[in-house]
Amino acid sequence: MNLSPIRHALPALPRLTVVAASAVAVVGLSACGGTGITKARLERNLPEVFANQYVQQAKILGHKGIAVQSLHPRATCDKGGPKVADNGPGADWICQMSWKDPNVPLPDGFGKFELNVHSNDCYTAGGPSKLVGLITITDTHGNDVPNPVFEFDSCFDPKSSNAPTGVSFPQPSTTGTTAAPAPTPAGLRLPTGTVTLDRQGRIATMLMCSGGNSGCAGTLSATRGARLLGTTTYAVAAGTNATVHVRLAGGRPVSAGGITLAAKAVIGNAPPSPARVTLKG
């Protein structure tokens, strides 16, 4: 299995290792080999681990309203295609997974995760960068930090339930002459929580553009009540995030407190409702 080219092109960073609660006893079981590696066990473990990693990412980015319980992740996994049994270790496991985040649409209804499953009942999962972001992301302080969802490790209990999960997703049709659907536009995600002023007195906001066609571009405005604080243009590549600075109109200072951010898109989609954030003093 080859992970996406961008994953190989970027410098290696420390991998974030997570162990699901169900895998506490795996260390003592690993000597038994990979006999417990099955489709159903991966389909149960991967969404649980992913949800915790996704919530970590939301905290790093300062996004509110994202919780393990709200994501409702589901996965269906396959090893090596229809002619290969769905059990045992290998680098040929593919899992399709869906989750619910109103700010990140899933064009196909799911994202594809590539798994390298080891004989000790542990695995490395690589997520789709167009949906979960690149290997590094920018935190609320403007620092580039490892993206906990880009690639992560986990282990599972080989004696956990092996009952089928029943999860499946509709697949694109490969027959007939029906024209391919139009590409799904990328969607912009506005910041939540707090924003700050940079050294030049501009409002520093972090925008994220989901995976999709062409990326996100348009105009961002900041207001307080009826007062327009300032506007700026933004251009963010699909599947990435970027810090955008709003210069205050007329150079007038602004005090700490609540402000409203609204985006008007010319490329991609913008949130239909503005975002309420707090400007730090």
Taking residues 123-146, report their average pLDDT.
Answer: 88
Give the strand pairing for 188-189 and 216-224. Answer: unpaired
DSSP single-letter state for residue 281: -
Q: So what's the pLDDT on residue 143? A: 86
Helix (H) or strand (E) holding 130: helix 129-132
Domains of the chain, with CATH numbers?
Answer: 5-155 (no CATH), 188-279 (2.60.40)
Q: So what's the pLDDT on residue 56? A: 95
Q: What is the C-alpha to C-alpha distance for residues 47 and 69, in angstroms, rounded to an integer?
A: 11
Taking residues 156-184, report their average pLDDT.
Answer: 79
Q: How confident is the model at residue 98 (pLDDT cuts 50, 70, 90)?
A: very high
Instruction: Give 46-71 as a DSSP string.
Output: HHHHHHHHHHHHHHHHT--S--HHHH
Tell me: pLDDT of 247 over 60.
yes
What integer best gives the mean pLDDT of the chain?
Answer: 83
pLDDT tens-digit series, residues 33-70? 446 999 999 999 999 999 999 999 999 988 888 999 99
Taking residues 156-175, report their average pLDDT.
Answer: 86
Task: Check if the beta carbon of residue 145 is closer than 8 Å to that of residue 120.
Answer: no
Q: What is the C-alpha to C-alpha distance for residues 9 and 195, in angstroms, rounded to an integer?
A: 32
Residue entry with tokens 């609660």: 21
Q: So what's the pLDDT on residue 35? A: 63
